[in-house]
Amino acid sequence: MTQPLMVLADANSFFASCERVFDPSLARKPVVVLSNNDGCVVARSAEAKRLGIKEGTPWFSIREEAQRTGVVARSSNYELYASLSARMMSVMSRFMPGQEIYSIDECFLSPSTDARQTVRVSTAMRKAVLEGVGIPVSIGIAPTKTLAKVANHWAKRHPASGGVSLWTDIEQQYGDAALAEIPVSDIWGVGRRLTKKLQAMGIVTALDLQRQDPVSIRHRFSITVERTVLELNGIPCIAGDASANDGKRKSEILCSRMFSTPITDMAHMDQALSVYAQKACRRLRRQSSLCSHVSAFCATSPFGPENSYQSFHGTTTLHDPSDDPLIIAKAACQALHGRADPHARYIRAGVLLLGLQDANDFTTLHGFEAKRDTHNLGAIIDQANQKFGSSRVGIGYGGIRGKGRGDEDTGATWTMRREMLSGRCTTRWDEMAVAHAD
């Protein structure tokens, strides 16, 4: 019996590739996609990477230079990306069993075939996604998830691989040199902090990390890093995430945003918190959960003068678990009252729902039932927004819609900026792509 394999399929420059699907004029051009508020670069096409544009770069700091060199920028269009992601995942799920959707643009699959056959199926799968959805993906195949990640990066960096890499082939061909050329910071699970600590110990490459003693690594760091070491040695120990939340249900729900212009008084802060609470609450109901704690936080800019950064957070415990937008919005505002400095210049805030439990399983003594959304207010708001367009109806400021096209646009000055938004071609009739035949 051969060792079971993991397959990792990951789209190339996913957001930028999505922008190209319905706008062929972007082909071969450097394309960048910006975060909310058109803040910083979150995705780059290969051409943009070649120009040296780094992920996370603030857009304002490179805008002039970028425009001079022909870079095309787009605001992030999550509705389009989510729709293309669903198509891509659906196509791939037909090729191999055990799909585990890890993020919007990547999934793990658990093939039951041997290595050669898995390579063949992966190649066919890649072709089907490219032709059927228009998105290029790269595929890494290895005995563990961490090595599948490594193989996937390999496929992306080496065009000769045809977009599909098998770890054992790489190992046979290059031996230790393959891991020796990968900086430890590129390994899945090794972030900025950990990189620093590892480097201080002389662990600089993936090969250095692979050769560590797992037990002493656990003592010095944590069980998470120990798993990474084992996985680099071909021992699978990162399980699927299906167990805890039956695949779909979140264990906490966060809605937070940066403001396009700062908020400097608590009345506006309450508006924002109420809007975010309602968004979070909609997701809570969609997964039919109740929450028992509502947290809220707000913060000033971390880029201001030295020592000027301020952040505040608080939590309200609900008397009874609830999914009622009135109760939750009120609790969110209450969580910050008396805690936040009312005169600071806030640039972001958020609402976090905690203590989530299944609404259908919730039972208690008579007289102590959950404070459900008894007037069905949440459901009615959801329906109205579905029928007439989002942000048409809501509690307090959440129902006031401005002139902009964005769903987020409530007309308030603090809502986000998306000035370079492409069409939502796959989800809105009035924004469909138009083809011309000359």
Which spans of this chain sit near DNA (rule: CB under 7 A)? 35-37, 39-40, 42, 56, 58, 60, 102-106, 149, 187-195, 218, 222-224, 241, 244-245, 250-258, 262, 279, 283, 293, 301, 303, 313, 315, 347-348, 350, 355, 416
Q: Minimum distance from CB of 173 to DNA (Å)?
A: 24
Which of left, alpha, beta for 338 (phi over 0: left; psi -120 to 50: alpha)?
left
Scan for tokens 């600071």, then name that residue. Answer: 344
Residue type, 15: F
Measured from the CB atom, the residue of 121 and 210 that comes closer to DNA is 210
**Residue with Cβ nearer DNA (101 or 130):** 101
Contact 398, 270 (CB under 8 A): no
Looking only at the bridges linking them, the beta strands covering 289-300 and 346-354 are: antiparallel
Please name the residue that has the structure tokens 């891991």. 179
Residue placing its CB nearer to DNA in the complex, 25 or 243: 243
Supply the minimum distance, in Å, between the C-beta of residue 64 and DNA. 9
CB of 42 to DNA, least distance (A): 5
CB of 219 to DNA, least distance (A): 9
Cα–Cα distance measured from residue 335 to residue 395, given in angstroms and rounded to the nearest whole number: 18
Nearer residue to DNA within complex by CB, 42 or 204 = 42
Q: Least distance from C-beta 30 to DNA, angstroms? A: 20
Q: Which residues contact 194 (CB under 8 A, 6 or more apart)?
A: 221, 225
Q: Which two tokens stand for residue 192?
A: 């900025």
Backbone angles phi, psi at 379, to 5 degrees: -65, -40
Minimum gap (Å) between residue 267 Cβ and DNA = 21
**In the complex, minimum distance from the CB of residue 1 to DNA, in angstroms, rounded to a whole number:** 28
Tell me the closest approach of the beta carbon of residue 16 to DNA, in angstroms.
13
Complex with DNA: residue 114 or 252, whichever CB lies closer? 252
Q: Shortest approach of DNA to residue 391 CB, angstroms?
A: 14
Distances (CA, A) of 334 to 39, 220, 254, 260, 327: 30, 41, 17, 24, 10
Pick between residue 184 and residue 425 the one whose CB is nearest to DNA: 184
Query: In the complex with DNA, which residue's Cβ is closer, 24 or 191?
Result: 191
Count the Cβ atoms, other than its own, within 10 Å of residue 393. Answer: 18
Which is closer to DNA, CB of 23 or CB of 312? 312
- Minimum CB–partner distance for residue 409 and DNA (Å): 13
By beta-carbon proximity to DNA, the closer residue of 99 and 121 is: 99
Identify which of residues 251 and 413 has a Cβ nearer to DNA in the complex: 251
Residue with Cβ nearer DNA (94 or 192): 192
CB of 303 vs DNA, minimal distance in Å: 4
Determine the distance from the C-alpha atom of residue 188 to the mean position of all C-alpha atoms in its chain, rounded to a whole number: 16
